[in-house]
């Protein structure tokens, strides 16, 4: 934002009008508390004028995130040339679009916010949200008015829906202030006007103190309603045809967003929680466990923590998220800040009993439907399945060579795909993607029939989403938005199925992980869970140990339940007509899908440069279509006979 100008001159007004007409961005601070933001050329303007001699905390923020905003004081100095500024903008933009809409927003009386009292308990009841839409009789755009009214009626705060009334008796501007555009001028210029009065439930009626969480919720609801109204107006009264109401939102991103994104990413990249919680002695601990007759829980050792958690938290809460005007971006960053807070606590608690409560907050536990599916899978799939791996196996070095070939495929399409493969001594026999690279445990043995599935899981999903995220303007997309693990792992497991590599033993393993997490949360010991997997569910001792070790590592890591949970999320998403490609824009959670769609429509995010290889596989597409039609996880593993049965249903 440039420095404030000294005064509103004729030259300044002419410059703003020219910029608006040509579609250049305008972001200026003017004398008398005036702020003008025009993201680009648009057929609408949101206006707020602060009442003279009166505090009105929070009201200007209701429109601060819109793409065309004018905020001003209602005092005489500010008002002097304000109508001239608005008139110039309306004249230029109405001529371009064939119509223009001005919406002025103000707050209602604070007396309306006084709490009522419950008749029986005597406890206070917060005031519900309410809106009054003001229009000039026979002059308001009817379809736009109806859209705005209906959309505002869907706003909910304090679990109560908003009340909406339409008023034709008053003016369309803030009470006590002269209109910015007179009726005669509006008719001549093709300008429509609406006023919106908002009950100020976002502040204390006595002290004027703002309630931040209420204001954020209300701003998001009001913003959505305004964009939907602008969308309707554009189709009914202008020459443009926007793709979606989201596409009428802001495209430009202010400096505060880049600063917040950078600082959160730096904190996120300063530690690797999963690597920190993975024992460095998993192999040695297995032999000790075996020598003890599987009766004494193994003792795990972990890497020294290379950062100071308390200093990380101090840095974390110095990140100025409150400076971000865009509610969608602010919501995403605030979620990430909260998750990082909990993850840093887990980092400090590795190897202690305090680790498990943090894990439940970050990764969740096991709900009854997920447990029911896991139990059914374990019952339906016998321990010795016909899909059990036989024949040739690839050792760590051989698998690493195949992984490098797969990485080469993506690098040829996108040179910035800078992933590498490293064989590590400290990973036992597992695979792990960390910071855009694939780590392979030196003792890893991969059945030949599982190689393609694991390549698509680790590279086609985890690495592709990482580098697609790196191609976006925000670092959070490759570091991972809050709660991304379930969708990410569910997508990875789905990729195994799409390439024909999701074997029955693999699904049985994912189900066993869910049961192990349930055992952990229920208070079972390491030995108890190991015995359950070995004796009740027929897993070989070494596999039962590995499952249990993964879940009990660090002090209790519930992340392993997300694989099956994520697969259910993906199945539900596809059944509802969802497309897979938006899910690979970066590392996101299911809750972020509509937010990512919004940011793509606003052109804040770019199209991802990489497409998973399996989406071009002619054999994968029929499997994907069966999944869209409602193929269940149980049907996925019931073989060719059941797939044909599914097609007949």
Contact indicator for 468, 584 with CB cutoff of 8 Å: yes
Calpha distance 476→480 (Å, rounded)? 6
Tens digits of residue pLDDT in 521-537: 999 999 999 999 999 99
pTM over 0.75: yes
Question: In the numeric block, which tokens belong to residue 603?
Answer: 């052109």
- Tell me, yes or no, whether 138 and 50 share the same domain: yes
445-447 and 68-73 beta bridge pairing: unpaired
- Tell me, yes or no, whether 283 and 240 share the same domain: no
**Residue 54: predicted pLDDT:** 84
Structure-token match 């979620």, residue found: 335
Sheet strands side by side (includes 437-441): 421-424, 437-441, 431-434
DSSP string, 30-79: EGGGEEEEE-S--SEEEEEEEPTTS--TTGGGGSTTSSEEEEEE-SHHHH
Burial grade of 470 (CB within 10 A; 0-12, 13-18, 19 or more): middle
Q: Within a 10 A sphere around the Cβ of 245, how many other Cβ atoms?
A: 21
Calpha distance 605→598 (Å, rounded)? 9
Q: Residues 6 or more apart from 643 whose CB is under 8 A from it?
A: 626, 635
Structure-token match 């500024």, residue found: 85
Tens digits of residue pLDDT in 305-360: 999 999 999 999 999 999 998 999 999 999 999 999 999 999 999 999 999 999 99
| pLDDT higher than threshold 80 for residue 645 | no
Structural domain contains residue 312: no
Q: Where does the pLDDT of residue 177 fall: very low under 50, low under 70, confident under 90, or very high at 90 and above?
A: confident
- Tell me, yes or no, whether 184 and 302 share the same domain: no
The greatest distance separating any two alpha carbons of the chain, rounded to the nearest whole angstrom, comes to: 93
Lowest-confidence range among 166-170, 205-209, 229-233? 166-170
Structural domain contains residue 401: yes
Calpha distance 187→181 (Å, rounded)? 10
Calpha distance 303→273 (Å, rounded)? 11
Q: Which residue has the higher pLDDT, 628 or 522?
A: 522
Calpha distance 221→128 (Å, rounded)? 14
| pLDDT higher than threshold 60 for residue 646 | no
**Residue 122: predicted pLDDT:** 60
- Tell me, yes or no, whether 291 and 169 share the same domain: no
Q: Residues 6 or more apart from 328 whose CB is under 8 A from it?
A: 220, 595, 598, 599
Structural domain contains residue 324: no
- Tell me, yes or no, whether 206 and 280 share the same domain: no
- Tell me, yes or no, whether 245 and 365 share the same domain: no
Q: Residues 6 or more apart from 484 whose CB is under 8 A from it?
A: 587, 588, 589, 592
Give the number of domains in the chain: 2
Q: Where does the pLDDT of residue 5 fall: very low under 50, low under 70, confident under 90, or very high at 90 and above?
A: very low
Average pLDDT over residues 132-154: 90
Contact indicator for 295, 569 with CB cutoff of 8 Å: no
Structural domain contains residue 265: no
DSSP symbol at 240: -
* 3-state secondary structure (DSSP) of residue 422: strand
> Which of the residue ranges 427-431, 469-473, 634-638 has the most confident prediction, judged by mean pLDDT?
469-473
Calpha distance 422→425 (Å, rounded)? 10
Domain boundary among 219, 250, 281: 250
Structural domain contains residue 68: yes
Q: Residues 6 or more apart from 222 whose CB is under 8 A from it?
A: 62, 63, 105, 152, 155, 196, 198
Structural domain contains residue 327: no
130-134 and 163-167 beta bridge pairing: parallel
Structure-token match 């499952």, residue found: 547
Question: In the numeric block, which tokens belong to residue 445?
Answer: 């043995």
- Tell me, yes or no, whether 434 and 500 share the same domain: yes
- Tell me, yes or no, whether 76 and 184 share the same domain: yes
Contact indicator for 124, 158 with CB cutoff of 8 Å: no
Q: Residues 6 or more apart from 398 whose CB is under 8 A from it?
A: none
- Tell me, yes or no, whether 286 and 171 share the same domain: no
Tens digits of residue pLDDT in 70-112: 998 766 565 677 888 999 999 999 999 999 999 999 999 988 8
- Tell me, yes or no, whether 367 and 488 share the same domain: yes
Range of the domain at 458: 272-306+349-648
- Tell me, yes or no, whether 141 and 217 share the same domain: yes
| pLDDT higher than threshold 50 for residue 643 | no
- Backbone region of residue 158 per phi and psi (left: phi > 0; alpha: psi in -120 to 50; beta: other values): left
Average pLDDT over residues 585-603: 95
Question: In the numeric block, which tokens belong to residue 321?
Answer: 């998220």
Tens digits of residue pLDDT in 431-480: 888 889 999 988 888 988 899 999 999 999 999 999 999 999 999 999 99
Q: Residues 6 or more apart from 255 whose CB is under 8 A from it?
A: none
For the packed helices 562-575 and 368-380, what is the interaxial angle rounded to 10 degrees? 100
For 78-149, strand residue ranges (E) read 100-107, 116-117, 124-125, 130-134
Calpha distance 623→571 (Å, rounded)? 12
Q: Within a 10 A sphere around the Cβ of 91, how many other Cβ atoms?
A: 19
Alpha-carbon distances, residue 92 vs 13, 71, 241, 538 (angstroms): 12, 20, 19, 76
Please say whether the dihedral angle defined by the alpha carbons of residues 211, 217, 220 and 225, taken in this order, is positive or negative.
negative
Q: Which residue has the higher pLDDT, 391 or 427?
A: 427
Tens digits of residue pLDDT in 264-295: 999 999 999 988 999 999 999 999 999 999 99
Q: Where does the pLDDT of residue 429 fall: very low under 50, low under 70, confident under 90, or very high at 90 and above?
A: low
**Opening angle at CA 547, ends 544 and 553, nearest 5:** 125
Calpha distance 433→466 (Å, rounded)? 10
Structural domain contains residue 2: no
User: The domain spanning residue 159 has which CATH number?
Assistant: 3.40.630
Structural domain contains residue 262: no
- Tell me, yes or no, whether 207 and 299 share the same domain: no
């Amino acid at each position: 934002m440039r420095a404030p100008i000294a005064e509103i001159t004729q030259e300044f007004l002419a410059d703003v009008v020219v910029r608006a007409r040509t579609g250049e961005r305008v972001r200026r601070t003017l004398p008398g508390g005036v702020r003008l933001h025009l993201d680009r050329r648009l057929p609408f303007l949101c206006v707020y004028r602060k009442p003279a001699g009166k505090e009105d905390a929070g009201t200007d923020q209701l429109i601060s995130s819109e793409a065309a905003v004018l905020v001003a004081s209602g005092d005489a100095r500010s008002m002097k040339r304000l109508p001239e500024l608005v008139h110039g903008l309306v004249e230029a933009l109405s001529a371009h679009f064939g119509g223009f809409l001005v919406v002025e927003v103000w707050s209602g009386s604070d007396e309306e916010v006084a709490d009522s009292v419950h008749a029986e308990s005597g406890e206070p009841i917060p005031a519900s949200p309410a809106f009054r839409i003001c229009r000039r009789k026979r002059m308001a755009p009817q379809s736009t008015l109806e859209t705005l009214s209906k959309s505002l009626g869907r706003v909910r705060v304090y679990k109560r829906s908003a009340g909406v009334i339409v008023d034709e008796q008053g003016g369309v501007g803030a009470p006590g202030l002269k209109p910015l555009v007179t009726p005669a001028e509006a008719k001549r210029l093709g300008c429509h006007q609406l006023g919106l009065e908002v009950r100020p439930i976002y502040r204390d009626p006595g002290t004027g103190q703002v309630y931040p969480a209420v204001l954020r919720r209300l701003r998001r609801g009001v913003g959505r309603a305004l964009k939907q109204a602008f969308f309707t107006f554009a189709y009914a009264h202008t020459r443009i045809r926007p793709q979606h109401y989201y596409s009428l939102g802001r495209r430009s991103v202010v400096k505060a967003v880049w600063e917040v994104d950078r600082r959160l990413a730096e904190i996120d990249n300063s530690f690797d929680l999963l690597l920190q919680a993975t024992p460095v002695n998993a192999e040695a601990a297995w032999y000790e466990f075996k020598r003890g007759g599987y009766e004494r829980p193994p003792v795990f050792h972990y890497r020294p923590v290379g950062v100071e958690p308390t200093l990380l938290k101090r840095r974390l809460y110095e990140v100025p998220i409150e400076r971000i005007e865009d509610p969608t971006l602010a919501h995403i960053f605030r979620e990430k800040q909260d998750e990082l807070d909990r993850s840093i606590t887990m980092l400090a608690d590795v190897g202690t009993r305090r680790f498990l409560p943090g894990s439940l907050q970050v990764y969740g536990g096991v709900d009854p439907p997920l447990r029911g599916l896991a139990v059914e899978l374990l019952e339906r799939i016998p321990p010795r399945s016909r899909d059990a791996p036989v024949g040739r196996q690839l050792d760590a070095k051989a698998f690493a060579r195949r992984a490098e070939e797969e990485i080469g495929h993506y690098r040829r399409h996108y040179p910035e795909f800078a992933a590498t493969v490293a064989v590590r001594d400290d990973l036992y026999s597992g695979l792990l993607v960390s910071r855009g690279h694939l780590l392979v445990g030196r003792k890893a043995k991969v059945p030949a029939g599982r190689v393609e599935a694991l390549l698509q899981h680790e590279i086609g999903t985890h690495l592709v989403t990482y580098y697609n995220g790196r191609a976006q303007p925000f670092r959070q997309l490759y570091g991972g938005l809050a709660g991304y693990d379930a969708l990410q792992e569910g997508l990875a497991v789905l990729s195994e199925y799409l390439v024909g590599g999701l074997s029955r033993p693999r699904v049985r393993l994912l189900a066993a992980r869910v049961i192990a997490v349930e055992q952990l949360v229920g208070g079972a010991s390491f030995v108890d869970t190991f015995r359950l997997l070995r004796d009740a569910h027929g897993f070989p001792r070494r596999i039962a140990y590995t499952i249990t070790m993964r879940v009990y590592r660090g002090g209790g890591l519930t992340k392993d339940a997300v694989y099956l949970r994520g697969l259910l999320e993906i199945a539900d998403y596809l059944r509802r007509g969802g497309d897979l490609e938006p899910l690979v824009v970066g590392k996101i959670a299911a809750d972020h899908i509509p937010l990512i769609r919004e940011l793509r429509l606003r052109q804040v995010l770019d199209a991802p440069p990489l497409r998973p290889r399996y989406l071009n596989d002619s054999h994968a597409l029929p499997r994907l279509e069966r999944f869209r039609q409602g193929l269940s996880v149980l049907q996925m593993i019931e073989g060719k006979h059941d797939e044909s049965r599914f097609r007949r249903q």
